[in-house]
Structure 1
Amino acid sequence: MVSVDDFSKMVSAVYACAVDPGQAAESITTIYQTLGARGGALLVAQGAVRNQIAAVLPADAAETYRHHYWRVDHVLDDVEAGPVGVVRTGSELMTPDHRSEFLNEWNRPNDLEDGMFVRLTSGRATTTFLVTAPRRTEPFGSAERLKAMNALTGHLQQALRTYDKFAESGRVNNGLVAMVDGMRHGTALVGPAGFLRCLNSSAELILQTADGLSLHAQCITATVGSAQAQLGKAIHTAIVGDRDGIRCGRSMLCARPSGRRPYVVHIVPSQPDDAGALMIIVDPEHQTMAAPALLAQLFSLTRAESQIASGIARGAPPKQLAEEMSVSLVTVRTHLQHVFDKTDTHRQADLARLLTNLLP
C-alpha cells in the first residue's frame, strides 16, 4: 500500500529533480522503489530518435537500450502515440509475442516484462515516464498502483513545466527564479527562515488571503502554530540540511483557519551553491480550468464543442449540458464524440484529466 508519507516522498523527489536535474536518477529510484518496481526511466522522443533523459535499470539494460533496442521499442511507440496523461499498463502493452525482438531479446532477459507507462507531453518532443517490473502471476498495474501513478502524473507534468520555466529564465544553474508567474500552483523561492525572494501571482494571492499562510516581515509563515513549526523545519532542512548536513525536500499539510481543505506544501532545495529553497503550494480547493477559447485554439473545436468540453472538465454530465445549452441530448453526444476525436481521448474521464492539465 502506498501511504501518504510514501506518496509525499515521491512528490518531493519529482520537484527536487525539477530544481536540480542532477537528482533525476535519485528521484526515479525513489518512485520505482516506492511502487515496488525494478527500474524506471524518463525518455524523450523527437522525430525518429528516442533518448533517455535519465534511467535506472538493472545491469547493462540501460546501455543496450540506448545503443540499439530503442529502435525496436514498440511498447513506447504505442505510449507516445496515445493520449497525454493516461497511465498504461504492461498487461495492456506487453502481450507476449514470439516475433517481437524487443520483448524477447531485451525485456525477457532483463526480467522487465511488466510496468506502468505515461505520456507526459505532446508536441514535437514527446516525454514519457515509466516504471518497469518483472512479470508475475498478478499484474503489476494493480488498482492501488494505478491510483498512485495517476495522482503522480500531474506532478510529473508540473515538474517538467517548472524546469522549462527555470531554463527559459536562464537561471537554472544558480537557482534564482525570474519567471514563475505562468505556473498553476503557488510557487515561491525562499531563503533562510522563509525570507521571500520571488513568487508568482498564485502564491501572492494565497499569502494575501492569509488563510493558513501569510507574509510577515517579508517571510512566509503559517498562521497555525503547529504548521509553522513544520514549515520552519522543512525550510531549514531544505536550505541548511538535516542533522547530517544533508539538504533534502519535505512535504506537509498546512491547516487553514477557514476550515477549507489544508494546503499541500512541497519544499525542495535549490542548487547546492545557493542557500535557497523552492516552495510549491497546492490548493486542493482551487482547480483551474482552461477557458473555452483556449480549447478551441488548441484542438480546433467549434464554439459548441468547446462549451461541452469545458462542461465535462468541471464534472457536468451530458444531460445537464443539454439543459444548459437548450439542445437535445443527442446533439450533446454528437458534439462530445467530435471532441473525443479531436483531442485523441475516448472517455469522459480521460478528457477531463487532459483538460485540467493544460495550464502550467
Structure 2
Amino acid sequence: MTAGAQVILRTVQRIYDAAMEPEEWPQCLDAVRDLVGGSHAVFTMNGLDGVQLSTCSRMDARQHGDRCDQILHSDFWAEQMQRFPAGAARTQSSLVPVQDYERTDFYQQLIRPIGGGLAAVAVPWRGSSGWSAVRICRPLDERDFGAEELNRLQALVPHLAKAGKLNRRLAGIDPRATGALAAIDALGLGLILLNRHGRPVYRSERAEAVIAERDGLLADAYGLATTLPAQTRALHQAIAAAMLLAGGPDTADDALSHAAAVMLRIPVSRRPPNGPLILTVIPAPTPDRGTVPGEPGAVAVLISDPDRRCRIDTAGLAGAYGLTRRESDLAALIASGLGPAEAAESLGISVGTARHYLKQVFEKTETHRQAELVRLLLHSFAAPDLGAATER
C-alpha cells in the first residue's frame, strides 16, 4: 500500500470516528484539510429545519469560530451549495467565477477575513430530508485546486455521505436509550449490540476492555465467538433465538407464547485462574420492529465478570438511610465479604464498636441479618471498582 493510500485510509477512519463522536469533527476536518491541501475546511449538515451540525477545522475555529458559524448558517451558503451536484468534488471557480465571487458581501465580510476564497467543494449527499457539504479553502491569491487534489476529496465523498447520515441517525436516538447505555456502563457491565445480521454495531467501553484481553470472548466486525467451539455454538444459538424473539409475533409466535422476554445466559470459559464470564443474550427490539415481516430483530449481549470487584457507594447509602460515615464504611466492608472482626480491624475500631455500628445499620436499613444487608447493598448500591479484577 502506498503512503498516499495509507493517509487516505487514516482520514477515512477519522471520518467514521466523527460520525460516532460529534466532538471529533474538528479533528476529522483537520485531516481532510491536510489531505486535500488547504488552509481550513468547513462542514455542514442541513435538515428540513435548518442546520443540524456545522463545524470548522480546529485551526480555523480557534481564531474564527463565530465567523465560521455565521458562514455555515447563512442563506448565501445554502443557495451556493444547491448549485453543486451531489456526490462530485468540484472547484468553486468552476461554478462561480472568481471575479464575481470576490465582489459579494459574503466573501468580503465572512470569507476574506479567515483567509478563504478558493475552494474544493463537495456535496456528499442531498435528499428530501436534507443535505451535507464540505469545503476545503485557500486564500484567493493562491493557485486553484487541481485535478489530483479534487481526486483526493472525491475519494472521501462516499465516506462523508455515510458518516453524515449515521451522525443524523445517532442524533435521533431516543434519549432514554442513551441513558440506558450510560446506566449499563455505570454498573460495570459490558454491552454489545448486534444488528439483525449478528454483527456488532455498538460496544461499550467495558466490552471493549473484555474483548481486548482475548480471554474467552472474541469479537470482530462480523460477529462474536468464544475460544471454545462448544461455547461458540451455544452463544450463536442464543443469539439466533433472541433475534427470532426480537422480530415480533410475526416471526416468533411459538416462542412468544412461552415467554414475554427471554434471557439466555452463556458461561464463557477463560484461562485459569480466571472464572468464566457470564453472557446474557436478550432481544433488543427497535422502534420499527415488525415493519419487515419475517425479518429477525436486533440483540443485546450483556457481559458480566463475577471476578470483577464491586465497591459500595457509601455516600449514596448514607444519604438514603441516614447512616453515619462509619456505619456506611462498615456496611461496605461487610458487603465485600469481611466479618465484623475483620471489618473492625480495617477501620481501626474495636469489635464491640463494630457490632454496635452494625446494629445501627440493621435498624436504619430495616434488615435483620448480614445476608439481607449484603443483598440490599449489592442490588442497590454496588458500583464498578475502577481497579481491575480481584487479586488472586
The structure number with the bigger radius of gyration is 2
- TM-score normalised to structure 1 length: 0.46
- TM-score normalised to structure 2 length: 0.43
- Of structures 1 and 2, the one with the larger relative CO (CA 8 A, separation 6+) is 1
